[in-house]
Structure 1
């Protein structure tokens, strides 16, 4: 069964290794092309992520450098990798092709310059998370003790996302910032978050947040990172399925997807250690849900909730 995975950090690894890794088959990449093919991952989102401690005047260049690796190493050397730049591109992928979509994990790279965000849109960014775990000029992240909401700049960014039919990703926001986003975002999504009711981690969503996502036509893509699944000990595929089941119990069966966070995590679900193992999750899901429901989780819910194609 084909899968759309809404989050990985392969670009960060490619950038950190300064061109020494091959996207096609380097063992260090949990989402290399060979593993995506084996796991039947039909579309992989590639996050641009900049470490908060990097000097401000270097951040935008670092983002551009990661995008350069996306164009040269991911797309340029692998003709079957096809960039998703428009929402209708999902519908034109050939059987042997894998879609690749750029996303932005935190807007630190743009500072307070919305023209830089416009450039990232033109380069293909189709989903924007305002923060990572830190605070920045747009909002507070989930790890910022202050717990403030959106700034005026943050509001302007969400409005730009709306105008350009770009997703606004809530996964790393503080709770207050989450609620501010939900008031104004046309296309909210959580690219890699689980249920706080099952695992009390700052990065997870409360039932109230999940309910609001479902009411506002948003999607929640569950993440494969064990600390977001269990509060202690290793995690199994069954443990992750409990989060999916819980979101279903809140009425979200048609608004759940997958966001592995591969290449950005250091611990792994047993039997789900890289993209090649993705069908282990699908096969386990089929034991608990109907085939149509699992198709929804795997890819169809996302396709059905894409921004309007106008």
Structure 2
């Protein structure tokens, strides 16, 4: 089955260690070989600027990561094609895989809409407003202050609306989430789970999930062990529990997957790398119809792609 994965940190891993080869490195959870062999149809690649990068260097580092995306991910991968629209995805041929560039946190743009527009022109098709802490746009979920969107943050969301770009609320403060829900035309949570099942602050509570569904947004169920359960080692079946829960809230047509592969050090038992998506597919087919599974894996995110 085709797979649309809404979040990974391959680019960040290669930026940290330029010797890593995307083709088949054992240091990566996602490799080109695994994508080709395991049914990938669309993979999102995030630009994540770590906190230790000085503020004045963050935009330049974002450009470095975009160069990695094009030179070290796309160029040596014959079946990997950059996609920026829904038509681009639908036009992919057999074995071709769409690659989407995303931004995880607006730290790179400081308080400049020109920098944001530049990243969009270079191919960014989804923008997470924060990582876990504060920037010029909003507070992240771990910022004690818990503030919402700044005036500049509201300008950013309006620009994303004008450009038909996903506004990603994963990592955003609770107040920021609700501010985005008032403004964003294309909201998603690329890699977040249900807080009721696992009370990690990065997860979404029932009211947030229901609001995303009402706004016709998307939720990418993630494989991060700490977001799946609190008490024991996370296993593949814990992913199903979050899927069941979101479906029970009315989200059957609003959920997909955002693995967060290569953004995590610990992995869920049974989902240690991209090739293990096969195990997830087989597990899903035990509980859901083939039509539903196809929606979860690919069609829901495709149908909600805003361009």
TM-score, with length taken from structure 2: 0.98
**In structure 1, how many angstroms separate the alpha carbons of the residues matched to 2:37 and 2:270?**
14
Is the Cα contact below 8 Å between 1:105 and 1:131 reproduced in 2? yes
Q: Which residue of structure 2 lines up, in the alignment, with residue 57 of structure 1? A: 56
Q: Which residue of structure 1 lines up, in the alignment, with residue 73 of structure 2? A: 74
Q: Which residue of structure 2 lines up, in the alignment, with residue 243 of structure 1? A: 242
**In structure 1, how many angstroms separate the alpha carbons of the residues matched to 2:245 and 2:301?**
19
**In structure 1, how many angstroms separate the alpha carbons of the residues matched to 2:222 and 2:286?**
20
**In structure 1, how many angstroms separate the alpha carbons of the residues matched to 2:214 and 2:201?**
22
Q: Which residue of structure 2 lines up, in the alignment, with residue 124 of structure 1? A: 123
Report SS of the residue matched to 1:128: strand
* Equivalent residue runs for 1:1-310 within 5 Å: 1-18=1-18, 20-307=19-306, 309=307
Please identify runs of 4+ aligned residues in structure 1 that moved more than 4 A.
none
| Stretch deviating more after TM superposition (2-11 or 79-88) | 79-88
**In structure 1, how many angstroms separate the alpha carbons of the residues matched to 2:286 and 2:95?**
28
Q: CA deviation at 1:76?
A: 0.9
Per-residue CA deviations over 1:27-77 (Å, capped at 9, x if unaligned) read: 111111011122212111000000123211110111000110100011111
Per-residue CA deviations over 1:213-270 (Å, capped at 9, x if unaligned) read: 0000001010000100011221111111100000000000011100000000111111
TM-score, with length taken from structure 1: 0.98
Report SS of the residue matched to 2:26: coil
| Aligned alpha-carbon RMSD (Å) | 0.8
Task: Count matched residues.
Answer: 307
Is the Cα contact below 8 Å between 2:221 and 2:255 reproduced in 1? yes
Report SS of the residue matched to 1:65: helix
Is the Cα contact below 8 Å between 2:219 and 2:254 reproduced in 1? yes
**In structure 1, how many angstroms separate the alpha carbons of the residues matched to 2:145 and 2:129?**
16
Report SS of the residue matched to 1:134: coil
Is the Cα contact below 8 Å between 2:85 and 2:305 reproduced in 1? no
Is the Cα contact below 8 Å between 1:3 and 1:298 reproduced in 2? yes
User: Which ranges of structure 2 fall in alignment gaps of 5 or more residues?
Assistant: none
Report SS of the residue matched to 1:62: helix
